[in-house]
């Protein structure tokens, strides 16, 4: 419980209704979507005007209070688990789309706007905002920037950072920093928008974001290719790209996931297949027709048992439902579901699949793998019960092993879920001691008291 005087100060900024300190309220902000221990904050504040963000930040800094900004709390790396005795700042009420500019193709938004709502609003104006994380119906744009979220369309259309033109944020003193611009080109000063991407709330508190919008593709074609051999499927991925075709989406599912999904919705998937590729090409109708044909051919050349091309919108929806069902179906199997996002260069996907099979055997764990094959971003999903201590210990070991493998292949710790608390300890392994020291010096000078989301990304102890 925070002391009364302090609560009064917060109340003066956001009003008494928007300050929560009762146990049964603060406990609801002690976790996020990562499988980690929860920590309740002392106070939760819910600003209703973006200016209040600055005042809150300044107040926290004055008192040396740890401050964690929370969008929807769907990140998978513990980024919104607060520090003990800290303050959680909610952006849910800062949910206005400030401008949709049809002439210059950009949008200005507050950080709490929900991703899918924004995309729908943009679409209703005949434009396109491509980043579509699986959590888009609830995740916020502020959270997307802070995690550099990506989605199914990452391969062709890129991720959140590729649409970020400008961002303004409050520094620890509560002063407003403006960066980037509404112009397509801008090289004024340091690339601060770039610095804010993937900063996970450790460098500043975003109050307004400017995104680039693009014209939508006119046509799309989806297909499902069935393979008897995981390696054939993986090689197909490289072959498609090598043929200079960039599908909008190129997703992978292993046999375990296929069977689980089929069992979940009885969708009539080929349960004996070793792997599925779900592919969508989009663009100009003529180009789509040509590319779809080529992709089909490449799949067959790489021993695809069958390639099902979606006949109509309904059929297309069915193909993607199978992909959307992957996580829920797996999550239904066991109480705890650890979703990792180890990412490797595309050409190493076959090797990574072999490594995952080995790890699953070695640690005697059930692992289902699906993910964004097109960008090498796999989601090995470990199914377990965290209450089983012995097994949980093996899970932790298996996660270490997965990252060892991914890094050894020139891959990365996180394709999209961020580092947060969960992967901070592996940071040095991927980068270098100097990288962490550099980042820490930067953090120290920008946030001398270390109040901005402490403990995240670069804070695991160096030996």
> What does the block give as tokens for 214?
């693009």
Q: Residues binding another protein: what is the number (CB under 8 A)?
A: 37
Q: Does 205 bind ligand FAD (CB under 6 A)?
A: yes
- We find the least distance from the C-beta atom of residue 138 to another protein, in angstroms, to be 4
Per CB under 8 A, contacts with another protein among 16-45 are 20, 22-25, 27-35, 38, 40
453 forms part of the interface with ligand FAD (CB under 6 A): yes
The answer to whether 74 contacts another protein (rule: CB under 8 A) is yes
Q: Closer to ligand FAD by CB, 224 or 327: give it.
A: 327
Q: Which stretch binds ligand FAD (CB under 6 A): 4-12, 142-150, 265-273, 425-433?
A: 142-150
In this chain, which of 65, 146, 164, 237 binds ligand FAD, going by CB under 6 A? Answer: 146
Among 49, 385, 396, 437, binds another protein (CB under 8 A): 385
By CB under 6 A, name the one of 108, 323, 348, 417 that touches ligand FAD.
417
Q: Does 33 bind ligand FAD (CB under 6 A)?
A: yes
Is residue 337 part of the contact set for another protein (CB under 8 A)?
yes
**Which residues, 396 to 425, sit near another protein by CB under 8 A?**
none
The separation between CA 447 and the C-alpha centre of its own chain, rounded to angstroms, equals: 25
Please report whether residue 201 would count as binding ligand FAD according to CB under 6 A.
yes
With helix as H, strand as E and coil as C, how does the chain read?
CCCHHHHHHHHHHHCHHHEECCHHHHHHHCCCCCCCCCCCCCEEECCCCHHHHHHHHHHHHHHCCCEEEECCCCCCCCCCCCCCCCEEEECCCCCCEEEEECCCCEEEECCCCEHHHHHHHHHHCCCECCCCCCCCCCCEHHHHHHHCCCCCCHHHHCCHHHHEEEEEEECCCCCEEEEECCCCCCCCCCCHHHHHCCCCCCCCEEEEEEEECECCCCEEEEEEEEECCHHHHHHHHHHHHHCCCCCCEEEEEEHHHHHHHHHHHCCCCCCCCCEEEEEEEEECHHHHHHHHHHHHHHHHHCCEEEEEECCCHHHHHHHHHHHHCHHHHHHCCCCEEEECCCECCHHHHHHHHHHHHHHHHHCCCEEEEEEEHHHCEEEEEEEECCCCHHHHHHHHHHHHHHHHHHHHCCCECCCCCCCCCCCHHHHHHHCCHHHHHHHHHHHHHHCCCCCECCCCCCCCCCC
Beta carbon of residue 97, minimum distance to ligand FAD (angstroms, whole number): 15
Residue 46 near another protein by CB under 8 A: yes
Min CB(196)–ligand FAD separation in Å: 8
Residue 73 as a binder of another protein (CB under 8 A): the answer is: yes
What residues from 70 to 89 belong to the interface with ligand FAD (CB under 6 A)? 70-76, 79-80
Candidate residues 331, 357, 401, 446; the one interacting with another protein per rule CB under 8 A = 331
Q: For ligand FAD, how many residues bind (rule: CB under 6 A)?
A: 37
Q: Is 340 in the site for ligand FAD (CB under 6 A)?
A: no
Q: Select 116 or 214, whichever has its Cβ closest to another protein.
A: 116
Residue numbers of the site for another protein (CB under 8 A)?
20, 22-25, 27-35, 38, 40, 46, 72-74, 90, 92-93, 116, 135, 137-138, 327-328, 331-332, 335-337, 385-387
Binding positions for ligand FAD, rule: CB under 6 A: 32-33, 68-76, 79-80, 91, 111, 133-135, 139-140, 142-144, 146-147, 149-151, 200-201, 205-206, 327, 416-418, 453
């Amino acid at each position: 419980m925070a002391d009364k005087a302090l609560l009064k100060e917060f109340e003066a900024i956001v009003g008494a209704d928007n300050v929560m300190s009762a146990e049964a309220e603060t406990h609801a902000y002690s976790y996020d979507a990562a499988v980690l221990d929860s920590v309740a904050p002392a106070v939760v504040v819910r600003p209703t005007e973006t200016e209040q963000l600055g005042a809150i930040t300044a107040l926290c800094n004055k008192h040396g209070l740890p401050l964690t900004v929370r969008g929807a709390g769907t990140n998978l790396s513990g980024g919104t688990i607060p520090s003990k005795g800290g303050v959680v700042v909610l952006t849910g009420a800062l949910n206005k789309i400030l401008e949709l500019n049809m002439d210059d193709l950009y949008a200005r938004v507050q950080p709490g706007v929900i991703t899918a709502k924004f995309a729908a609003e943009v679409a209703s104006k005949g434009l396109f905002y491509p980043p579509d994380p699986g959590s888009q119906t609830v995740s916020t744009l502020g959270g997307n920037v802070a995690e550099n979220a990506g989605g199914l369309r990452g391969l062709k259309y890129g991720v959140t950072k590729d649409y970020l033109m400008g961002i303004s944020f409050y520094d620890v003193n509560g002063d407003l920093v403006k960066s980037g611009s509404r112009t397509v080109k801008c090289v004024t000063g340091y690339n601060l928008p770039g610095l804010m991407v993937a900063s996970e709330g450790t460098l500043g508190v975003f109050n307004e974001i400017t995104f680039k919008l693009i014209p939508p593709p006119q046509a799309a074609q989806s297909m499902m290719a069935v393979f008897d051999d995981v390696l054939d499927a993986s090689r197909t991925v490289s072959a498609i790209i090598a043929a200079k075709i960039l599908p909008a989406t190129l997703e992978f599912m292993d046999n375990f996931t296929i069977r689980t999904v089929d069992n979940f919705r009885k969708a009539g998937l080929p349960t004996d297949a070793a792997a599925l590729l779900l592919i969508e090409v989009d663009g100009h109708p003529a180009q789509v027709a040509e590319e779809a044909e080529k992709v089909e051919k490449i799949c067959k050349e790489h021993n695809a048992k069958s390639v099902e091309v979606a006949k109509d919108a309904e059929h297309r929806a069915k193909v993607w439902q199978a992909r959307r069902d992957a996580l829920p179906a797996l999550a239904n199997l066991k109480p705890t579901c650890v979703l990792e996002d180890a990412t490797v260069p595309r050409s190493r996907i076959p090797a990574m699949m072999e490594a995952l099979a080995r790890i699953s055997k070695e640690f005697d764990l059930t692992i289902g793998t699906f993910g964004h094959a097109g960008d090498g971003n796999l989601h090995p999903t470990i199914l377990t019960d965290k209450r089983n201590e012995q097994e949980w210990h093996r899970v932790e070991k298996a996660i270490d092993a997965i990252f060892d493998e991914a890094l050894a292949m020139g891959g990365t710790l996180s394709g999209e879920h961020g580092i947060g608390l969960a992967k901070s300890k592996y940071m040095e392994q991927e980068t270098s001691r100097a990288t962490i020291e550099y980042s820490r010096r930067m953090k120290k000078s920008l946030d001398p008291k270390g109040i901005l989301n402490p403990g995240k990304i670069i804070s695991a102890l160096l030996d």
